[in-house]
Amino acid sequence: METSGGIQASLAGRYATALFELARESNKIEAVEKSLATLKAALSDSDDFRQLTASPLVSRADATKGVVSAAKAMKVDPLTENFLGVLAGNRRLGELGSMIRAFTTLAANFRGEMTAEVTSAHPLNAAQVTELKKQLKTRVGRDVSVDLNVDPAILGGLVVRIGSQMIDSSIKTRLNSLAHAMKG
Q: HSE, CB side, 13 Å, CA atoms: give it for residue 61.
A: 0
Q: HSE, CB side, 13 Å, CA atoms: give it for residue 130.
A: 3
pTM for the predicted model, two decimal places: 0.75
| 56-92 per-position pLDDT tens digit | 888 889 999 999 999 999 999 999 999 999 999 999 9
Strand (E) positions, the chain? 114-120, 144-150, 158-162, 165-168
| 34-45 per-position pLDDT tens digit | 999 999 999 988
The pLDDT assigned to 130 comes to: 94
Is the pLDDT score of 8 beyond 80?
no
Q: pLDDT-derived band of residue 1, with 50, 70 and 90 as boundaries?
A: very low
